[in-house]
C-alpha cells in the first residue's frame, strides 16, 4: 500500500474516535454488557447472595476498575480523577442516584406485574427519549429515526410476547413506566455531566455513587453479606468488569457522538442479547419470536447507519 493510501486509511471514518459507525459499535457492545446483568444476578442469587449485596459489589467493583483505567490512561496519576467539586457531587449524587433509582423501580415492578410487561414498558424509553428531545428541540427526529424506533419496538414486542398476558396491577405498570421515563431523562443528563471529563472518569464517579447507595442500603437493612460462594463472587466480578466498567465506558463514549435518540434506539439490542444468553446460561429455549425480534432490532440499527452513510 502506498504511503498516501496508508494515511487515508488511518483517517478513515471507521477508525476515528468520533466515527458514528464506531460509536454505534460501542453502544452495541455496551448493550450486550448490560444485557448480561439479569443472567449474572440470577446466577449469583441462586447461591444465596442477596440482591443488594450483588449490586453493591457490582458498582463498587466497577468504580474501582474505572478509576484504575482513568489513572492509567492519564499522565497525572491520581490527579486524572480530579474534577470540579460541583461536578463531582452531581456525578456521585445525580448520576449514582439515577442508577440506583432505575434498579429500584424496574426490580420493584416485577413484584406486581409479569416480566414481559416490565420489559415491554421499560423498553419504551427510546420513545420517551425522542419525545423529550422534540420538546426541548435538542435533537432532530426525522422519518428514518422514527422508522428505526418503530422497528425496534416491534422487535421487542415480538421477543417478550404480549405484555398484557398477565394480571395488570397499576402499581407495577406505574413503576415500569417510571423506570422508562427516568432512564429517558437520565441519558441526556449523563451526556451533559460527562462533557469535558471523559467517559472513564465520569463512569467512575457515577458507579461509585450507585455502589455507595446500595452498600448503605444493604447495611441498614441487614442484607449485606461478606461470606459468599465462589460462584457468587465470580458473577459479581463479571458484573463489575463487563456489565459496569466496560458497559459504562462504551455507553458514554458512544453517547457523546450519537446523541440520546440514536443511542436509545441502538441500545434496544440489550433484551435480544439477554434472551440469547439465557439459552446456555439458564437453559431457556430459543424461540423463533426471539430471532425475529432480534432481526427487526438489527434492521433498525442498520437503517440508522445507512442514513448516516448517505448523509
15 occurs within a structural domain: no
Any domain includes 13 = no
Kindly state the average pLDDT of the residues 152-163. Answer: 77
Q: By C-alpha distance, which of 32, 9, 103, 94 is closest to 275? A: 32
The verdict on residue 5 lying in a domain is: no
Q: Which three cell numbers stand for residue 123?
A: 423498553
- 139-148 average pLDDT score: 82
The residue-averaged pLDDT of 147-156 equals 86
Cα 236 from chain centre:
17
Residue 6 has a pLDDT of 36
Look at the alpha carbons of 146, 150, 152, 156 in this order and tell me if their dihedral is positive or negative.
positive
HSE-up (13 A, CA, CB side) for residue 190: 32
**What per-residue confidence (pLDDT) applies to 169?**
82
What pLDDT is recorded for position 3? 39
The domain in which residue 78 lies consists of: 22-310
| Cβ neighbours around 170 below 10 Å, total | 9
* Residue 11 counted as domain residue: no
Q: In the chain, what percentage of residues exceed pLDDT 90?
A: 34
Higher pLDDT, 118 or 210: 210
3-state secondary structure of 84: coil
Give the rounded percent of residues in the chain with a pLDDT score beyond 70.
87
Please give the Cα distance from 133 to 228 (Å, whole number). 44
DSSP string over 8-60? HHHT-TTTSTT-HHHHHHHHHHHHHHHHTHHHHHHHHHTTT--HHHHHHHHHH
Is residue 6 in a domain?
no
Say what the pLDDT of residue 164 is.
59
201 part of a folded domain: yes
Q: Is residue 270 part of a domain?
A: yes
Residue 163 has a pLDDT of 61
Instruction: Match 451526556 to its residue by C-alpha cell.
Output: 191
Residues ≥6 apart with Cβ < 8 Å to 99 = 59, 206, 207, 209, 210
> What is the pLDDT at residue 165?
58
Average pLDDT, integer, range 295-299 = 86
* Whether the predicted pLDDT of 115 surpasses 70: no
What is the chain's mean pLDDT, rounded? 83
Domain count, the chain: 1
Per-residue pLDDT tens digits for 32-74: 999 888 888 888 988 999 989 999 999 999 999 999 988 887 7
Residue spans of alpha helices (H) in 224-266: 230-240, 247-258, 260-266
Amino acid at each position: 500500500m502506498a504511503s498516501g493510501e496508508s494515511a487515508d486509511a488511518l483517517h478513515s471514518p471507521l477508525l476515528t474516535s468520533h466515527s458514528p459507525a464506531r460509536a454505534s459499535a460501542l453502544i452495541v457492545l455496551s448493550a450486550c454488557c448490560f444485557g448480561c446483568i439479569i443472567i449474572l444476578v440470577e446466577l449469583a442469587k441462586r447461591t444465596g447472595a442477596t440482591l443488594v449485596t450483588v449490586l453493591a459489589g457490582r458498582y463498587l467493583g466497577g468504580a474501582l476498575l474505572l478509576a484504575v483505567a482513568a489513572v492509567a490512561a492519564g499522565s497525572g496519576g491520581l490527579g486524572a480523577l480530579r474534577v470540579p467539586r460541583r461536578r463531582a457531587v452531581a456525578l456521585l449524587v445525580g448520576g449514582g442516584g439515577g442508577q440506583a433509582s432505575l434498579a429500584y423501580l424496574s426490580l420493584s415492578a416485577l413484584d406486581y406485574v409479569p416480566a414481559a410487561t416490565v420489559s415491554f414498558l421499560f423498553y419504551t424509553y427510546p420513545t420517551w427519549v425522542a419525545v423529550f428531545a422534540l420538546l426541548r428541540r435538542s435533537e432532530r427526529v426525522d422519518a428514518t429515526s422514527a422508522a428505526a424506533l418503530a422497528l425496534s419496538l416491534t422487535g421487542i414486542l415480538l421477543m417478550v410476547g404480549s405484555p398484557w398476558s398477565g394480571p395488570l396491577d397499576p402499581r407495577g405498570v406505574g413503576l415500569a413506566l417510571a423506570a422508562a421515563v427516568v432512564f429517558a431523562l437520565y441519558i441526556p443528563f449523563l451526556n451533559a455531566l460527562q462533557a469535558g471529563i471523559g467517559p472513564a472518569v465520569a463512569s467512575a464517579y457515577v458507579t461509585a455513587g450507585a455502589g455507595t447507595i446500595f452498600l448503605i442500603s444493604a447495611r441498614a437493612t441487614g442484607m449485606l453479606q461478606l461470606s459468599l460462594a465462589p460462584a457468587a463472587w465470580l458473577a459479581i466480578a463479571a458484573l463489575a468488569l463487563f456489565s459496569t466498567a466496560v458497559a459504562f465506558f462504551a455507553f458514554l463514549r458512544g453517547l457523546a457522538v450519537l446523541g440520546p435518540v440514536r443511542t436509545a434506539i441502538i441500545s434496544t439490542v440489550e433484551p435480544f442479547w439477554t434472551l440469547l444468553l439465557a439459552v446456555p446460561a439458564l437453559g431457556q429455549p430459543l424461540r423463533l419470536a426471539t430471532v425475529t425480534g432480534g432481526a427487526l432490532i438489527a434492521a433498525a440499527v442498520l437503517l440508522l447507519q445507512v442514513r448516516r452513510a448517505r448523509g
